[in-house]
Amino acid sequence: MNEVDFLLWVKGSAFNIALFIFMAGLVLRLFEILSLGRKVNYAVPKGDPMQGGLREIFRRFGTDKATFQRSMITIVVGYVFHIGLFVVIFLLAAHVEVFKSVMGFGWPNLSTPVVDAFAVVTMIALVVVLIHRLQHPVKRFLSSPGDYVAWAVTFVPLLTGYMAYHHLLLSPQMMLGLHILSVEVLLIVFPFTKLMHTFTVFLSRWYNGASMGLRGVKS
Amino acid sequence: MRMQSPNPYEPTLGEHLRSQGISRRGFLKFCGLLASSMALAPAMIPKIAAALEQAKRPSVIWLSFQECTGCTESLTRSHSPSLEGLVFDAISLDYHHTLQAASGDAAEHAREEAMKEHYGKYVLVVDGSIPLDNPGYSTIAGISNLDMLKEAAAGAAAIIAVGTCAAYGGLPKADPNPTGAVSVSDIIKDKPIINVPGCPPIPMVITGVIAHFLTFGLPELDSLGRPKAFYGQSIHDRCYRRPFYERGLFAETFDDEGAKAGWCLYKLGCKGPVTYNACATTKWNDGTSFPIESGHGCIGCSEPNFWDFGGFYKAISIPTGASGKNAVYAAAAGIAAGVAIGAMNKKSKAEAASSHQTVTVEELNQESGS
């Protein structure tokens, strides 16, 4: 298998397999969570659960002063790499084309050097959070192999994408192939690791807020 | 086409060119062009000139298999009067379907004679792929392509696979490959093979590779067997539209404002970023332009499997399969599995509820009393 065969394979059958596992896993897990259901609460509601839920979704974007001072690195660097990932994944022209081909619609892209700068900042932020995780005794104690897997499958696509764009180390074809392959690994493990929080984060925020809202408590 | 009997005195290339009326100035100009296209230092020009002048005209046998003659057309349509063509004239082209005057037995006889006379020394040029499914798919004078290639390769000093078909299988090998077409390097393993891919290759690159072989021997090749001097950089690296790519300015259709302004053709399927060839620098038609300059994206013709690369008008990043449909099926499968697992969860919940044993107050009192 030469470079071109490899690139064709990752763009063809491998992508289809990865996309299938990702979509099926994603839907399966969301369906499972939602179908669990909750017992009907017969108590007289003291507030609007929907309002409480929606408020909580937005309220948790912020953080209280004490928590911020205690976990400054986690919060600031966490925000940096999440925003960076959003920009890199959704606003690079080449990526918009992929979404367009899969979903049938696209959106405007940012200029490539801007996305490139975001990619560099994101990679640095990811390295910082990894070092922080390894050096912080409590964080290290709480970390499972799953946490490191989630970190690696997020970091490697960024690195290979950056190297493919800048023609570093290997031929662009090979690097592009490796980049797409690393994204496919990400897609496959996505529904079965904590990366699933991308889709459950607002769900759980809403759930917490709604249960408080029902009780008339400001969460 | 030269069919003369063996000459006791073989003129050198330099002598031959002078007899053809090529001036020293014209010859050096050609050497300079050659040096720059091979990315060699200007100091190498006299060396190239000296080596070319002294080179004996080698016997070249050109075999055409499953091809469209586009490679030969490319070579002969090189700008005229062409020094490239004359250098080609200066090699002893002993066999070439399209260009030779002889036909039938006489033509085959010329090939056999050249092979015998120059055994171990001649250069074999091949264009076109070789069918393996059925030898009858492509024959010359009743000889299958496979047999002719094996026979001719045995006595060759080196093989130059001209065009993407000979180098990588090309169009005949495109899915579903009805003839079982393969490249020269799939069959011949024991001879140096220089791939000069392109559909067709740039004329200057074809002659440049032959000139390199005459002067410095085998050129340095990349992982796909292409001379690095001509295939060392991607189209994208040398593209004049690259600044638009960098700025994120793309033509969305072939007739929008972006296309008129000459923006990058990435979104219209340009394969420049993953294609290695000299088009952006050497250009075509006497240096007039190259495809991107005329407003069409690169189709990646110097790369293996370029016909099956996911469509000429689809951006490189786009997956080749029907991903949208696949995603819908996957979601359906996910829901089906979710329903099944949900039902199982409900069942185990119901079972737990039904097998739940209650304790009466009396029983509790009994226990505490005992």
**Cross-chain residue pair A94–B326, CB shorter than 8 Å:** no
Residues from chain B contacting residue A115 (CB–CB below 8 Å):
248
In angstroms, the separation between the Cα of residue B266 and the nearest Cα of chain A is 8
Q: What is the reported pLDDT for B58?
A: 80
Q: What is the pLDDT of residue B257?
A: 93
pLDDT, mean of residues B192-212: 88
pLDDT confidence of residue B94? 80
**Which pair of tokens denotes residue A25?**
């896993």
Mean pLDDT value across residues B96-113: 84
Tell me which of B228, B270, B317 to substitute to probe the interface with A (most A C-beta atoms closer than 10 Å). Answer: B317
Token output for A22: 């990702």
Ligand-binding site membership of B165 (annotated) = yes
How far apart CA B97 and CA B64 sit, in angstroms, is 7
- Average pLDDT (B91-111) is 83
Please write the tens of the pLDDT for every residue from B141-199: 899 999 999 999 999 999 999 999 999 999 999 989 999 999 999 999 999 999 999 99
* Residue B60 Cα distances to B74, B214, B276, B284, angstroms: 18, 12, 27, 25
To the nearest whole Å, the CA of B329 is away from the closest chain A CA by 8
Angle made by CA atoms B304, B310, B315, in degrees to the nearest 5: 110
Contact B342 A24 (CB under 8 A): no
Q: Which residues pair with B194 in a beta bridge?
A: B160
The CATH architecture to which B235-308 belongs is: Irregular (4.10)
- The amino acid at residue B309 is F
d(CA B248, CA B95): 51
Which of B261, B210, B251, B170 has the alpha carbon at shortest distance from B87? Answer: B210
Question: Best of B318, B329, B345 to disrupt the A interface by mutation (most A CBs within 10 Å)?
Answer: B318
pLDDT 10s digits, A50-94: 888 888 888 888 888 888 888 888 899 999 999 999 999 999 988
Residue B195: the pLDDT is 95
Burial label, B205 (beta-carbon count in 10 A; 0-12, 13-18, 19+): buried
The per-residue pLDDT of chain A, averaged, comes to 88
Which chain A residues are Cβ-neighbours of B297 within 8 angstroms? none
Given phi > 0 = left and psi -120 to 50 = alpha, else beta, which region is B298? Answer: beta
A-chain residues near B326 (CB < 8 A): 16, 19-20, 23
Q: Which of residues 170-199 of A touch B (CB under 8 A)?
A: 171-173, 176
Q: Considering CB atoms only, which of A2, A31, A104 is closest to B335?
A: A31
In A143-219, alpha helices (H): 145-165, 172-189, 197-214
State the DSSP code for A4. H
Please give the pLDDT value at position B260. 93
Q: What is the DSSP letter of B78?
A: S
Give residues with Cβ within 8 angstroms of B221, minimum separation 6: B194, B195, B227, B228
pLDDT in tens, B19-51: 777 778 877 877 787 777 777 777 878 887 887
By Cβ distance, the residue of B266, B309, B341 closest to A93 is B266
pLDDT at B5 over 60: no
| Least CB–CB distance from A20: residue in B266, B330, B337 | B330
A142 touches chain B (CB under 8 A): no
pLDDT of residue B79: 59
As a residue count, chain A comes to 219
Mutate to test the interface with B, among A1, A2, A4, A163 (most CBs of B within 10 A): A4
B321, A15: Cβ pair inside 8 Å? yes
**Chain B: residue whose CA lies nearest to A91:** B248
> What local confidence, expressed as pLDDT, does residue B367 receive?
61
Q: Specify the 3-state DSSP secondary structure of B180.
A: coil
By CA distance, what is A171's nearest residue in B?
Answer: B274
For residues A110, B247, B290, B295, the Cα torsion angle rounded to the nearest 10 degrees is 50
Known binding residue B199? Answer is yes
A 60-99 → B contacts, CB under 8 A? 93-95, 97-98
pLDDT 10s digits, A161-178: 999 888 888 878 888 899
Q: What is the mean pLDDT of residues B304-318?
A: 87
Quick one: pLDDT at residue B24? 80
Does 3.40.50.700 match the CATH number of domain B13-231?
yes
Least confident of A190-199, B58-67, B93-102: B93-102
| Cα diameter, chain B | 128
Report whether B298 belongs to an annotated binding site: yes
Pick the closest to residue B123 from B188, B57, B74, B185 (CA basis): B57
Q: B32 with B65: CB under 8 angstroms? A: no
| Mean pLDDT along residues B129-138 | 93
For chain B, residues classed under CATH 3.40.50.700 are: 13-231
Kindly give the confidence (pLDDT) of every residue in chain A, 219 residues in length, as a single tens digit, with 9 standing for 90 and above: 677 788 888 988 899 899 999 999 999 888 888 877 777 778 888 888 888 888 888 888 888 888 888 888 889 999 999 999 999 999 998 899 889 888 888 888 888 889 999 999 999 999 999 999 999 999 899 999 999 999 999 999 999 999 988 888 887 888 889 999 999 999 999 999 999 999 988 888 888 888 888 888 876
Question: Which residues have C-beta within 8 Å of that of residue B283, sequence separation ≥ 6?
Answer: B289, B290, B293
Residue type, B145: N
Give CA–CA dist B16/B52, Å, rounded.
11
The answer to whether residue A20 neighbours chain B at the CB level (below 8 Å) is yes
3-state DSSP assignment of residue B248: coil
CA–CA separation, A175 vs A171, rounded Å? 6
Query: Which residues have a Cβ under 8 Å from the Cβ of B5 and sit 6 or more positions away?
Result: none
Please list the residue range(s) of chain B that carry CATH number 4.10.480.10: 235-308
Using pLDDT thresholds of 50, 70 and 90, give the confidence band for residue B4. very low
Report the share of chain B in percent with pLDDT over 90: 39
- By C-alpha distance, the chain B residue nearest A111 is B248
With contact defined as beta carbons under 8 Å apart, do B176 and B104 qualify? no
Provide, as residue numbers in chain A, all residues whose Cβ is less than 8 Å from the Cβ of B319.
11-12, 15-16, 19, 98, 101-102
Quote the pLDDT of residue A151: 94
pLDDT computed for residue A118 by the predictor: 95
Architecture of the structural domain at A3-214? Up-down Bundle (1.20)
The residue among B203, B212, B198 whose CA lies nearest residue B34 is: B212
Q: Shortest CB distance from B246 goes to which of A21, A112, A176?
A: A112
Reduced to 3 DSSP states, what percent helix, strand and coil does chain A have, rounded to the nearest 5? 80, 0, 20
Contact with chain B for residue A33, Cβ under 8 A = no
Per-residue confidence (pLDDT) for residue B6, from 0 to 100: 47
pTM of the model: 0.78
- Summarize pLDDT for B64-89 with one digit per residue, the tens: 999 999 998 888 776 544 555 655 66
Give buried/exposed letters for B231-267 (b at 16+ CB in 10 A, else e). Answer: bbbbbbebbebbebbeebbbbeeeeeebbeeebbbbb
Q: Is the pLDDT of residue B332 over 80?
A: yes
C-alpha distances (whole Å) from A105 to each of A27, A109, B182, B286 are 21, 13, 39, 42
Has the ipTM of the complex gone over 0.85? no
What is residue B190's predicted lDDT score, i.e. its pLDDT?
A: 92
Over the Cα atoms of chain A, what is R_g? Answer: 20
What percent of chain B is modeled with pLDDT above 70?
92
Max intra-chain CA distance, chain A:
68
**Residue B1 pLDDT:** 45
Three-class HEC string of B8-50: CCCCEHHHHHHHCCCCHHHHHHHHHHHHHHCCCCHHHHHHHHH
- Residues B221-236: pLDDT tens digits? 988 899 998 998 889 9
Q: What is the mean pLDDT of residues B119-130?
A: 92
